[in-house]
Amino acid sequence: MIKRIGHIGIIVRDIEKALTVYQGALGLHLAKIQERPDLAATIAFLPTGDSEIELVQPVTSDSDVAKFLEERGEGIHHICLEVDDIERALSDLRERGLQVIDEIPRVGPEGERFAFIHPKSAHGVLLELYELPTCQSELDDHSP
């Protein structure tokens, strides 16, 4: 069911300031910064081998990510687990008693589908399930 850790999301107050650590001090490559109005966030993508670190900065004070930041402060926001079939994964997890936040997967700007599992069901950790678009998944499976 779980293929790999897709990324770790880290919530920050200021992406530019956070990049001085992750890009400057740690030497990670900044692949892109993306505005995500659907999440009321700006996200910086930093590839790390077969995974990524995502720096997530809220852009409004009333969004879910802003509320998370105010309640918990900066740090790990979520762990993303890549799956082959997100509907099946959600169904399996519901059958096993986990509380899902998204009954129906959301669709991201590049066709990726994702859904969150409530932290109450995962010992305080917000989990994201993530399914790559079919064409991207096939490319990854055939890469050298």
Looking at domain 2-141, its CATH architecture is Roll (3.10)
**Domain residue ranges in the chain:** 2-141
- Residue 1 is predicted with a pLDDT of 81
Q: pTM of the predicted model, to two decimals?
A: 0.88
CB 131 within 8 A of CB 114: yes
Cα–Cα distance list, 124 to 38, 72, 78 (Å): 24, 11, 10
CB 5 within 8 A of CB 79: yes
Q: Is the pLDDT of residue 136 over 60?
A: no
In 3-state terms, what secondary structure has residue 28? coil
How far apart are alpha carbons 122 and 140 in whole angstroms? 28
pLDDT, tens digit (0-9, with 9 covering 90-100), for 79-118? 999 999 999 999 999 999 999 999 999 999 989 999 999 9
Tokens of 63: 């969004």
Q: Is the pLDDT of residue 137 over 60?
A: no
